[in-house]
Structure 1
Amino acid sequence: MHVHRSFYNPPALPHDEVVETLEWALGDRAYEGEAANALVGSALNDNDREFVEHWCMQVGTRAVPGSPLFGLAGLCLGHTARRFGHLSDEAVALVHSLAARAEADPVDVDSRALNGLDDVKDYLHLW
């Protein structure tokens, strides 16, 4: 049986909605789906790099163990690097850390973190 998959780029939400959604998800895994859409929408469409980076960092350091939000935070930092051509040293270090965790244990951090690291390498020309 063939399964048709569709690709969806969520829109950027107002900052207060992003913050509320991400804070909910960091406290309750039931909100991870909404949080994923909020984070991806911000990383792809929000023009405030510092806001996007800050919330990727929050998610990438505060999600519960085994959460798919870890890999997504790494991926979204890669999107941020691609879009803005800049990440803070702390964000680059987090992308590196999440990618290393993904290589060591894909159950802990999924492989999207590796894609984020590839984007950081390609767009920031750090390595």
Structure 2
Amino acid sequence: MPAKEHAHLSFENPPALPHEVVVETLERALRDRSHEGEAASVLGRSALNDEDREFVEHWCVQVGTRAAPGNPLLGLAGLCLGHAARRFGYLSGEALALVESLAARAEMDPKDVDGRALDGFDDARSFLHLW
């Protein structure tokens, strides 16, 4: 009986998107919540793959400060700041304050900010050796 061949599956993160696409998508979602799904994908993709730390951090902070209470993008912004801390080993004071604030809001009211913000805060503390 012939040996079974096994396909080796691999996963590759998609490359970062052009900055103008990211900005346009996130601005649109901040104006109109019907675009949140696309914005979530774009923000996560940037946090995981874009090599421009300042750009990634800036847009995580923009989303985390401008999205309305209860918007799922708030928790994602916190999580993505945790990804940035892991990848770059640095977050600005503004970003650190925001990731801590989003986590505190998530602890107080998960309907305001979802629990992903807690994961982002844990990542920031762990990878930046803080708190």
Question: Normalising by the residue count of structure 2, what TM-score does the alignment of the two structures yield?
Answer: 0.89
Unaligned runs of 5+ in 2: 1-10
Structure 1 equivalent of residue 127 of structure 2: 123
Question: Structure 2 counterpart of 1:14, which letter?
Answer: P
Structure 2 equivalent of residue 85 of structure 1: 89
Percent identity over the alignment is: 75
Q: Give the Cα–Cα distance (whole angstroms) in 2 for the partners of residues 69 and 9 of structure 1.
A: 21
Structure 1 equivalent of residue 38 of structure 2: 34
Deviation at 1:10, TM superposition (A): 5.2
Give the match's secondary structure for 2:39.
helix
Instruction: Name the CA shift for 1:105/1:8 in 2 (closer, same or farther; >3 Å).
Output: farther
1:100 aligns with 2:104: yes
Question: Normalising by the residue count of structure 1, what TM-score does the alignment of the two structures yield?
Answer: 0.92
Contact 1:10-1:37 at 8 Å conserved across structures:
no
Over 2 Å off, 4+ runs: 7-11
1:25 aligns with 2:41: no
Deviation at 1:11, TM superposition (A): 3.9
Aligned-residue Cα RMSD (Å) equals 1.4
Contact 1:10-1:38 at 8 Å conserved across structures:
no
Question: Structure 1 counterpart of 2:65, which letter?
Answer: T
Contact 2:13-2:49 at 8 Å conserved across structures:
no
The C-alpha deviation readout for 1:39-77, integer Å capped at 9, x for no partner, is 000000000000000000000000022100000000000
Q: Give the Cα–Cα distance (whole angstroms) in 1 for the partners of residues 119 and 58 of structure 2.
A: 19
- The number of residues matched between the two structures is 121
Unaligned runs of 5+ in 1: 1-6
Q: Give the Cα–Cα distance (whole angstroms) in 2 for the partners of residues 60 and 47 of structure 1.
A: 20
Give the match's secondary structure for 1:51.
helix
